Chain A
């Protein structure tokens, strides 16, 4: 067992090195002075290249790191807490709440970026709060089932709200902006924005990381978790709030970026183990690598920017299909998780 722990730690370290290499490559990749990867020595010689990397690419790559690791960690937490590998961070009305908040602020206020961010984050948290309150008032089923049903209802409400806002939005100016925000992207991220989400991401990330082994316990049913000495309701709510806060903070600057929180935890479990001790950090690192790569592709492949959410969905869906159809992973037989 200890050798297994050491083996997994070594693999995590390798994954971290891969993340470092990905970040370095992303910083050096762009369309200046010509499309492709620039030499690091150019940074010393060319002040414009240095300014580009330090003031434009670096905050954007940091935002991509936070977005990827945050969504992937939140996805892992949601999947384990709900004991269901098909849920993702936007599950409890969070994503749709953020979309509604952004759409309303685009239509009702001047489209100042910070207003959109604050409105999206606030509505995402409202989504969680309303889901929680509704679940408390349902009179059937276990806590997890009630929360899932409440989340579905709240998402549907926010979704119809987005539809109404789109309907009344100016088709020439506001509607394209709403649509573009909902496709996701990091093109507008600067140092100020990256810094603004840093505290929530760090505090939330540390909390989720600290609870990584306990997530295994919280994936058991309530009665078993209770008999193992946990206060399952309290601990699940603590982690749900932390995961939602990280999700709300990151999507407030990126817009809706789908599939990261769904697909990356699956990949992490397949590559490492279902044990949260390894699956959660692996998920965070793989999520960061995934989003940094997608964002680099988004800003470099074409002359114009491809929406990040489009790329994460496209690649994520393809990966998902591969995972679902590939029956033999590593040396063992099929290790697919059961759907609760």
Chain B
């Protein structure tokens, strides 16, 4: 069994002291080299769970272990080296070039008053090549198309050289062509041993690239485990409240609504 990189144990979370809990007695773990999907309807607590895994939100109780150590024992910079985030969407407020934007990903490796150097630039170039945007390095990041920007955010996350890549609904705003580009890139990263945790509303994407899945409903885990055991028509129908079918053909899985 591969070592566990991230373990979340019996956590609860609520936004305000007396509000309804968003997450209840939730536990999950992520093994090295696996691709983990969190699926659930709107408001199930997927993004909150991601934020807790990133350390951005603190659970009321329970504990989170990163590489068998309490997450809170890590410094902010160490955390930035361990995990990187590809947000669902991000506004680039100033006209940074693509390369300047990518260099932001080197922050966890630089002290507070340090500037990126040639080695950081080399790593940024490498990430640009990996996502196929090397021809755009001098373009303003704010002028990229939606698909290019998604690839750019993934590239910045790769520049962080993380152990775990966290993606919040990575294909939700993309057209089919760009969606496929992102899926192909994620599959390539998986082959290179990158550990991935992502949320999605797309069960087909989940089945396509993940090794493990976690189904979340009203803040509770309903099913969790290897993808082929969890992503079944019965489980997904229960999760979304509509009849769903899962069609598996060799390396391709399609999930569709049967209604």
Contacts and interface: CB of A to CB of B under 8 A. Distances in A.
A223 B76 contact: no
Interface string B96-107: 110110001101
A335 interface: yes
B173 to A, nearest CB: 16
A228 B160 contact: yes
A211 B121 contact: no
Given A223-B56, A228-B80, A335-B140, A275 B100 contact: yes
Interface string A215-228: 01101110110111
A216 B104 contact: yes
A80 B93 CA distance: 9
A20 interface: no
Given A224-B87, A226-B56, A338-B142, A275 B96 contact: yes
A2 interface: yes
Interface stretch (B31-39, B60-68, B108-116, B184-192): B108-116
B202 interface: no
A235 B113 CA distance: 12
B91 interface: yes
A215 to B, nearest CB: 10
B54 interface: yes
Of A80, A216, A227, A235, the most chain B CB neighbours within 10 A belong to A227
A220 B77 contact: no
A120 B67 CA distance: 53
Classify the secondary structure of A's interface with B.
Answer: loop
Contacts of A340: 91, 93
B62 to A, nearest CB: 20
Interface size class of B (residues with CB under 8 A): 35 or more
Interface in A288-340: 335, 337-338, 340
Contact of A229 (B81, B115, B116): B81
Interface in A127-158: none
A84 B91 CA distance: 12
B129 interface: no
A224 B56 contact: no
A172 interface: no
Interface of A: 1-2, 80, 83-85, 210-211, 213-214, 216-217, 219-221, 223-224, 226-231, 235, 269, 273-275, 277, 335, 337-338, 340
Given A2-B118, A229-B77, 12 more contacts: A83-B93, A85-B94, A213-B115, A216-B96, A217-B107, A219-B94, A223-B56, A224-B87, A226-B56, A228-B80, A230-B76, A269-B94
11 contacts: A1-B121, A211-B112, A213-B115, A214-B113, A216-B96, A224-B87, A227-B83, A228-B80, A273-B97, A274-B96, A337-B95
9 smallest beta-carbon distances between A and B, as pairs: A229-B80, A229-B108, A227-B85, A274-B94, A83-B93, A210-B113, A228-B107, A274-B95, A229-B77
